[in-house]
Amino acid sequence: MYGSNGGKVDLNMYNAAVKGIIIGIVGGLLVANIGNIKALISNASEATEVLADIDDMENIRLDVVYQGAEQLSESEEDMLSIMVKQAVLYGLAEKYGEDYNSDMTLNEARHAFVLSLPDIEGWAKEAAEEFGVETSAEAFFTVKHMDEEELNGVVYAAGDYETLEIRLY
């Protein structure tokens, strides 16, 4: 795999970076918790996260699906997924401001995300390219079945969830 500067990517550096990211997430450094909506990144082995979580437990999940031509190992796919999720979360915070979601309802959050779909696709593509994978990105809303999962101390029951899916191909 090659980095954006054309040089060979050191996977040990990426592994260390991912561990640092996960520690930062657990420590609350990456959690965007402003008012009612929380952006939570799951552990690296899971490809889901909660993008919006409203007080009444309605939520929007985020799922990154890699279908690119380049063969990636499971750990590389996990790292790519985390990088894309981070890019999307940072992009949304940058676009709407740090406290953009302090009073949003689920419908208002969904509306903001729908308006941001072209940006989300751009952030995802850019993150994949920084990782060293040439890809296209498509972002859309769907409903997906998710297994029971605990993210940052909150248990989300198994069930069908509204999901913002980012497909890389």
d(CA 21, CA 86): 9
pLDDT digits over 95-118, tens only? 887 766 566 778 888 898 999 999
pLDDT at 63: 92
Compute CA 13 distance to the chain's CA centroid, rounded to the nearest angstrom: 21
CB 95 within 8 A of CB 116: yes
Question: Which has more pLDDT, 39 or 139?
Answer: 139
Instruction: Tell me the helix, strand and coil percentages in the chain, rounded to 5.
Output: 40, 30, 35
CB 10 within 8 A of CB 17: no
pLDDT digits over 52-63, tens only? 554 434 788 889
Question: Which has more pLDDT, 3 or 43?
Answer: 3
Among 53, 55, 86, 81, smallest CA distance to 67 is for 81
Q: Residue ranges per domain, the chain?
A: 11-168
Q: Which tokens is 117 given?
A: 């779909």
CB 49 within 8 A of CB 61: yes
